[in-house]
Amino acid sequence: MTRLHPEPLPERLTVLDRTLVMGVVNVTPDSFSDGGRWFEPAAAAAHGLALVAQGADVLDVGGESTRPGAERVPPDEERRRVLPVVRELVAAGAVVSVDTTRAAVARDAVAAGAHVVNDVSGGLADPAMVDVVAETGVVYVAMHWRGHADVMDDHATYDDVVVDVRDELAARLAALEAAGVRREQVVLDPGLGFAKPGRDNWPLLAHLDALQALGRPVLVGASRKRFLGHLLAGPDGTPAPPDARDGATAAISALSALGGAWCVRVHDVAGSADAVRVAAAWSAARDERQDQHSHTQDGDHRA
């Protein structure tokens, strides 16, 4: 299959006919899986470059935790955390995404060289975000969202999670276009773990085609999330800790790649970088054999 890339992504990524890998760079003291490890800008930038060496195609720099129950960070503090890291990574040649729901932070990060704005609210948290995206023309990841981290679990009710998420993302896509955002800029994200109980994440993964039917690339962010912890729980029912979920994350990366995902967002890059390459080789071999079989059948029919 040929990947549909958003615009304007750098050419060195758009020529890749495989799922991309986005490495997470959390510049936070309280993120659920690695809060505080790379809180200082220099440490965060060094971590980002290490992820590139492991195979990350894009680095997603965030200064505000979106774990369930997390409190908001003042805008100036988010800027202080994020912008020096964005600048340093861009200067080192990395393709950078900024993980923010705030228009002002997004604008400053794009001015500092970020290629992508990854907004977990899909433009709902800050109405000015759509103007920034439209004016800058940057790649925009719009995630399915029903509320900030401190209240999202109160909105985790669905009639049919696949249909509901698809329809709500379709509405966001239409609203973004109406506000002047070019359709070609937009990537859609089902928002795994955001206002979704554990059982509701699996149908979304199993039916990525329902989101792809909206005609935009899809990003999958399953890395180390709660529903994997519950899946991998020990005999006593204790969920597996975040850093014990990387193998399951890599498995989802492989399956998502086979399902046509544009990108997977992960904390542990090496496993998923291998996984998407395995999936690409698998898909290429399958497609080649199907083409050969089709040509053979055509020849038989002409004879």
CA distance 237 to 152: 24
Amino acid at 106: A
Which H helix or E strand runs over 188?
Answer: strand 186-189
Beta bridge partners of 96: 59
Alpha helices by DSSP H, listed for 75-160, are 75-91, 103-111, 129-136
161 touches 204 (CB < 8 A): yes
Closest CA to 192 of 244, 134, 231, 241: 231
Active-site pick, 265, 277, 289, 302: 265
Active-site pick, 79, 107, 166, 225: 225
80 tagged catalytic: no
Phi, psi of 118 (to 5 degrees): -105, 100
265 tagged catalytic: yes
Question: Three-class SS of residue 62?
Answer: strand
Output the six-digit token pair for 122.
């899909």
Amino acid at 160: D
Beta bridge partners of 58: 22
Residues acting as catalytic residues: 225, 265
